[in-house]
Amino acid sequence: MKTQNLSNIALSAVVICLLVWNGIGPHPTAAASVSPEAIAVGSISVSGSSAIRVQPNRVVILFGVETFARTPSSAQSQNARQSRAVVNAILAQDIAERYIATANFSIQPRYEDYDRNIINGYGARNTIAVTLRDVQKLEPVLVEALEAGASTVDGIEFSVTNLRELRDRARDQAVQAALEKAKAMAGAAGMTVGSVTHINEGTGGYYFGSWYGGSRQWTNYQNVVQELSAEGAITLEDGTVSLGQIVVQAQVSLSAELANDTTENTDIRTHIDQ
């Protein structure tokens, strides 16, 4: 009898195993934790800007030396002597000769009666460019050059020697400003910022703090502006010249994908009953 009961129990166990193996009968409940992925549902476009203020550390001065004589050769020789005196005066201020150069030279006839083409003489003009890497020498050089024979000061330009480095830094800051703006705007709308799809650098002119014949100049090169009355500007010892500050500016615009905010994961329990 016992042997028959044991046989029945073994047979029942085999049947149950076969039912489970063939998909008949209950399966255990499976639990899986799934993190929903952010799906792009739109886009956002923003702009960012940056400005870096620095003191100028380089000055370029343009001196004009003018002479007049009855003949072209006399006008030229007189101008050469007078220009040499100006250059010597600048060299005496401990300015290396490689920083002094002729920017322009011309000889033009002067007319007593232009309509009748009556020439009264000839005027020679030499434009001397001087680069100062010590901005504190600006006024001494101006005074000594004019006293030595320079006729005019045609221009004074303030600049910086590391403009490329400053421009790159300003551009990086402008990109960060744009990204921060995009994230703030998306967050306020209950969304998140995805991948950046487009970046564009703004272009424009800059006022670089030059003076030419009493007029301020705009130049369409890099985004650099000089604030002539900026706070913290350097004033030379006698207070006559204030160097102001060079302002290196950058502006960018960018577009990025927008996605719904999915900051919390949801546990999804899947029940399979076959």
Nearest to 217 by CA among 207, 227, 226, 225: 207
pLDDT band per the 50, 70, 90 thresholds, residue 213: very low
Torsion of CA 178, 181, 185, 191, to 10 degrees: 70
Confidence at residue 244, expressed as pLDDT on a 0 to 100 scale: 74
The domain covering 41-55+162-260 belongs, at the CATH homologous superfamily level, to Protein of unknown function (DUF541), domain 1 (3.30.110.170)
Residue 79 contacts by C-beta under 8 Å, 6 or more apart in sequence?
Answer: 65, 66, 67, 124, 125, 126
d(CA 119, CA 113): 7
Q: What is the pLDDT of residues 65-87, one digit of tens each?
A: 999 999 999 999 999 999 999 99
Nearest to 154 by CA among 218, 213, 224: 213
Q: Copy the structure tokens of residue 51.
A: 């400005």
Nearest to 243 by CA among 128, 139, 169, 166: 139
Is the pLDDT assigned to residue 232 strictly greater than 50?
no
pLDDT band per the 50, 70, 90 thresholds, residue 23: low
Within 13 Å of residue 268, how many CA atoms lie on the same side as its CB? Answer: 7
Residue 251 contacts by C-beta under 8 Å, 6 or more apart in sequence?
Answer: 47, 48, 49, 50, 174, 201, 202, 204, 223
Is the pLDDT assigned to residue 27 strictly greater than 60?
no
Is the pLDDT assigned to residue 261 strictly greater than 70?
yes
Confidence at residue 9, expressed as pLDDT on a 0 to 100 scale: 54
Angle at CA of residue 35, ends 30 and 38, nearest 5°: 150
d(CA 27, CA 73): 112
pLDDT band per the 50, 70, 90 thresholds, residue 194: very high
Residue 47 contacts by C-beta under 8 Å, 6 or more apart in sequence?
Answer: 178, 181, 202, 251, 252, 253, 254
pLDDT band per the 50, 70, 90 thresholds, residue 177: very high
* CATH code 3.30.110.170 region(s) in the chain: 41-55+162-260
Q: Copy the structure tokens of residue 257.
A: 């994908």
Angle at CA of residue 254, ends 252 and 255, nearest 5°: 170
Nearest to 62 by CA among 162, 234, 211: 211
Q: What percent of the chain has pLDDT over 90?
A: 53
Q: What is the pLDDT of residues 90-125, one digit of tens each?
A: 999 999 999 999 999 999 999 988 888 889 999 999
Average pLDDT score over the chain: 78
CATH number of 58-159: 3.30.70.2970
Confidence at residue 246, expressed as pLDDT on a 0 to 100 scale: 84
